[in-house]
C-alpha cells in the first residue's frame, strides 16, 4: 500500500536544472549515479498558507538551503548550485503552480547522465512542489516500536546529511513498524542509545524535562528540532540535549516525533507501553499551538523564519 497522498494531478510545473518544465517532462537518466549509486541529496520544506494574508510562507528556507550546501559538499559534487539560485527555483515553482494551500517542497540535487560510483557530475537539480495538508496523527498521536535495525553510523553513512542513501535504513525500520501495526520506529545508534525515527527526531519528557538526543547521537540536524528547542526556551519549558537510553522511553511522561512532514506528532506508546496516560500530553499540545502560530505568520518575532512567496510578486 502507498500511504503518500498522490497529488500528481495538481502539479503543473516543476523546475529541472533551473528551468520550469511540465511535471511529466522532468526526466533523469536511467544510468544516473543519482539513481544507481544514490548520489542524491535533498531537502524537504513546508510552505504554509495564511488565508487572511493570502500568502504562502516558506518555513526556514535559508536554514534548509544551508543544510543542503553541507550535504552537497560531502558528496563532492562539481560546481554545486548556490543557495540564491535554488531559492529562486523554489519561488518560481510555487508561483508557476499558484498553490494556495499548505504545500510541500522537495528540492533534490544529484549526479545525472552516466557514471561510476565516484562520479561528481554532471549535477542536476529538481524542485517539486505539491499540496500537502497536515498529517492526521498531529491530532491523534501514534504508537512507536523500537526497531531491530540500528541507525546508520556517522562513520558509514552519516545521518547528519540528508542523502537518499540514508533512507534505505529508514525504510527498513519503517517497514518493520508497519508490519507490527505501529505508526513509527525508534532506531538505536551504534552505542545503543536513541537516535531518531525514519523521518523525524524524538523528544520525551522525564520528570517534567523534555529530553532529545544530542546532535552526535546519529541524527539529522533537524530544523524542526532546533525550532522546538528555541520555542521552549521562550516558553519556559525546560529541555536538555543528551544521549538517551532505550529504557528511558518507557519512563516518558509525554513524547513527540518532529520533522518537516510530521511537524510535532505526539507519541502515545513505545513498544506497547503507554506514554503518560496514552494520550497527547499538555506540554506537547502547547508546543504544537505555538509552532502553528509561528509557521503561519502569527508571531511577529519569527517573521525572519518565513519567506513570502506572493508578496510583491507579479505572479507571472
Chain residues binding ligand PMP by CB under 6 A are: 44, 170, 196, 199-201, 220, 222-225, 259-260
* Helix (H/G/I), strand (E/B), else coil: 170: helix
| CB nearer ligand PMP, residue 201 or residue 294 | 201
Cβ 39 to ligand PMP, closest distance in Å? 18
| CB nearer ligand PMP, residue 44 or residue 121 | 44
Q: How far apart are CA 302 and CA 106, in angstroms?
A: 23
Residue among 163, 126, 110, 108 nearest 11 (CA): 126
| CB nearer ligand PMP, residue 158 or residue 276 | 158
Q: How far apart are CA 39 and CA 33, in angstroms?
A: 6
Residue length of the chain: 316
Mention every residue, 6+ apart, whose C-beta is less than 8 A from residue 97.
10, 11, 12, 13, 129
Q: How far apart are CA 135 and CA 108, in angstroms?
A: 23
Kindly report whether the peptide bond that precedes residue 122 is cis, defined as omega within 30 degrees of 0: yes
Cβ 217 to ligand PMP, closest distance in Å? 11
| CB nearer ligand PMP, residue 165 or residue 276 | 165
Beta carbons within 10 angstroms of residue 10's beta carbon: 14
Q: How would you list the strands of the sheet with 123-131, edge to edge? A: 19-22, 13-16, 123-131, 103-111, 40-50, 55-59, 306-308
| Burial class of residue 123 (count of CB atoms within 10 Å of its CB; 0-12, 13-18, 19+) | buried
Cβ 200 to ligand PMP, closest distance in Å? 5
Q: Whose grid coordinates read 504545500? A: 103
Cβ 269 to ligand PMP, closest distance in Å? 21
Extract the C-alpha cell encoding 246: 532505550
Beta carbons within 10 angstroms of residue 316's beta carbon: 6
Cβ 103 to ligand PMP, closest distance in Å? 15
Determine which one of 66, 95, 162, 178 is catalytic. 162
Cβ 70 to ligand PMP, closest distance in Å? 12
Catalytic residue list contains 66: no
| CB nearer ligand PMP, residue 105 or residue 119 | 105
Beta carbons within 10 angstroms of residue 52's beta carbon: 8
Catalytic residues: 162
Amino acid at each position: 500500500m502507498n500511504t503518500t497522498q498522490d497529488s500528481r494531478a495538481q502539479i503543473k510545473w516543476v523546475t529541472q536544472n533551473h528551468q520550469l518544465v511540465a511535471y511529466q517532462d522532468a526526466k533523469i537518466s536511467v544510468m544516473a549515479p543519482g539513481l544507481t549509486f544514490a548520489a542524491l541529496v535533498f531537502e524537504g520544506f513546508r510552505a504554509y498558507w495564511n488565508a487572511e494574508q493570502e500568502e504562502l510562507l516558506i518555513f526556514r528556507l535559508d536554514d534548509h538551503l544551508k543544510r543542503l550546501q553541507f550535504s552537497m559538499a560531502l558528496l563532492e559534487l562539481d560546481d554545486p548550485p548556490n543557495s540564491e539560485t535554488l531559492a529562486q527555483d523554489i519561488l518560481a515553482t510555487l508561483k508557476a503552480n499558484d498553490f494556495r494551500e499548505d504545500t510541500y517542497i522537495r528540492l533534490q540535487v544529484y549526479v545525472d547522465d552516466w557514471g561510476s560510483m565516484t562520479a561528481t557530475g554532471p549535477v542536476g537539480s529538481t524542485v517539486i512542489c505539491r499540496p500537502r495538508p497536515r498529517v492526521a496523527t498531529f491530532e491523534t498521536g501514534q504508537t512507536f516500536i523500537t526497531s531491530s535495525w540500528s541507525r546508520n553510523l556517522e562513520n558509514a553513512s552519516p545521518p547528519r546529511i540528508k542523502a537518499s542513501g540514508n533512507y534505505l535504513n529508514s525504510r527498513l525500520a519503517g517497514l518493520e513498524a508497519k508490519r507490527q501495526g505501529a505508526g513509527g520506529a525508534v532506531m538505536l545508534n551504534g552505542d545503543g542509545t536513541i537516535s531518531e525515527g525514519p523521518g523525524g527526531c524524538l523528544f520525551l519528557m522525564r520528570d517534567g524535562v523534555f529530553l532529545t538526543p544530542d546532535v552526535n547521537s546519529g541524527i539529522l540536524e533537524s530544523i524542526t528540532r532546533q525550532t522546538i528547542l528555541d520555542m521552549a526556551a521562550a516558553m519556559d519549558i525546560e529541555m536538555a540535549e543528551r544521549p538517551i537510553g532505550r529504557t528511558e522511553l518507557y519512563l516518558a511522561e509525554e513524547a513527540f516525533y518532529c520533522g518537516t512532514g510530521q511537524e510535532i506528532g505526539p507519541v502515545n506508546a513505545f513498544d506497547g507501553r503507554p506514554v503518560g496516560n496514552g494520550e497527547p500530553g499538555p506540554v506537547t499540545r502547547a508546543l504544537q499551538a505555538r509552532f502553528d502560530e509561528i509557521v503561519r505568520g502569527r508571531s511577529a518575532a519569527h517573521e525572519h523564519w518565513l519567506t513570502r512567496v506572493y508578496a510583491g510578486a507579479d505572479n507571472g
